C-alpha cells in the first residue's frame, strides 16, 4: 500500500476518499529525538485502542477531533488535516523536562496547569518556543493560538477526571492539532493520545505506567500499557 507519511510511531495511507486517511499505529518506540529505539510487540494495537477510546470520550464531551471511524487492530480512519507544527504540552504535576528546567522536584503538584509550546522540527530537536516565536514563524495567528490553548486546557480537564476515575493520575501530555481539509478553516485535535504521549501514574502508588518505563529503562513497558488499557476500558464500560 502506498504510504503518504511515515513518522516515528505512525504511518498514514490514502483511502478512496480524498478527505480521509488511514492512520496506522506502529510497534516502534523512540525516545530522545529518535536516539533510543526499540520495537514492542502489540504497542500499535494497544495505543490504537487507547487513542480510540479517548477520542470517543472527548468527542462525546464536545471536543472536535480528526477521528472518523475504527478500521482494524492497528488502524483508524481520520480526516485529512495539515498538522500545525507545534507540540502542545499540558502539565498538572512536575515531571520530565519541566523538573530539569525549573528545578522543582518530580511529583510536585502544580496549583494550575502549565501549557508549553514546542516547535515540531527534528533537525532542531523540537525546541520549546514562546508565542512570539509562533508568530515570527507564522505557525498560527494570535487568535488561533488562544483558541487552541483553551482547547488543550479543556482536554486536560476532561482527561484528568477520566483518568482519575480509572485510578490513574494524568501527570502531563502532548497533543497536536491540524487544519481540516479541504478548506483548512477548522482546527481539530489530531494525532494520538496514548501512553507514548502522556505521563500516567497509578493514583495511589505513583507507579509510572507510561513511556517513561522505556525512556528510563524501568522494564515491563507493555505490561504497564496493558494495565492502563484495562483500567480505562473498565472505567469506560461503567460510564
Binding site for ligand TMP (CB under 6 A): 89, 95-98, 126, 172-174, 197-199
- Binding to ligand ASP by CB under 6 A, coded x per residue (else -) over 26-65, reads ----xx-xx-------------------------------
For residue 221, count other CB atoms closer than 10 A to its CB: 21
> Minimum Å distance from CB 237 to ligand TMP?
26
* Per-residue buried b or exposed e for 82-111, using 16+ beta carbons within 10 Å of the residue's own CB: eebebbbbbbbbbbeebeeeeeeeeeeeee
Q: Which three cell numbers stand for residue 41?
A: 510487540
Q: Which residue has the cell 500499535?
A: 44
> Minimum Å distance from CB 238 to ligand ASP?
31
215 binds, among ligand ASP, ligand TMP, none (CB under 5 to 8 A by kind): ligand ASP
154 near ligand ASP, rule: CB under 6 A? no
CB of 155 within 8 A of CB of 58? yes
- Nearest-angstrom CA–CA distance, 169 and 114: 16
> Minimum Å distance from CB 28 to ligand ASP?
9
Q: Which three cell numbers stand for residue 214?
A: 522505556
Q: CB-wise, 47 or 49, nearer to ligand TMP?
A: 47
176 binds, among ligand TMP, ligand ASP, none (CB under 5 to 8 A by kind): none
Amino acid at each position: 500500500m502506498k504510504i503518504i507519511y511515515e513518522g516515528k510511531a505512525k504511518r498514514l495511507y490514502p483511502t478512496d476518499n480524498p478527505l480521509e486517511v488511514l492512520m496506522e499505529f506502529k510497534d516502534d518506540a523512540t525516545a530522545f529525538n529518535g536516539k533510543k529505539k526499540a520495537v514492542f510487540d502489540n504497542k500499535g494495537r494497544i495505543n490504537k485502542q487507547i487513542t480510540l477510546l479517548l477520542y470517543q470520550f472527548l468527542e462525546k464531551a464536545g471536543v472536535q477531533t480528526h477521528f472518523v471511524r475504527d478500521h482494524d487492530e492497528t488502524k483508524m480512519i481520520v480526516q485529512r488535516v495539515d498538522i500545525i507544527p507545534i507540540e502542545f504540552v499540558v502539565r498538572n504535576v512536575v515531571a520530565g523536562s519541566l523538573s530539569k528546567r525549573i528545578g522543582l522536584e518530580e511529583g510536585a503538584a502544580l496549583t494550575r496547569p502549565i501549557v508549553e509550546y514546542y516547535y515540531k522540527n527534528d533537525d532542531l530537536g523540537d525546541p520549546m518556543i514562546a508565542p512570539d516565536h509562533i508568530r515570527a514563524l507564522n505557525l498560527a495567528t494570535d487568535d488561533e493560538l488562544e483558541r487552541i490553548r483553551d482547547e488543550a486546557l479543556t482536554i486536560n480537564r476532561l482527561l484528568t477526571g477520566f483518568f482519575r476515575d480509572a485510578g490513574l493520575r494524568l501527570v502531563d501530555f502532548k497533543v497536536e492539532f491540524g487544519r481540516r481539509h479541504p478548506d483548512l478553516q477548522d482546527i481539530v485535535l489530531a494525532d494520538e493520545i496514548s501512553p507514548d504521549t502522556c505521563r500516567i501514574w497509578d493514583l495511589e502508588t505513583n507507579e509510572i505506567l507510561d513511556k517513561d518505563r522505556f525512556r528510563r529503562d524501568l522494564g515491563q513497558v507493555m505490561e504497564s500499557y496493558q494495565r492502563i488499557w484495562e483500567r480505562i476500558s473498565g472505567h469506560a464500560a461503567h460510564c
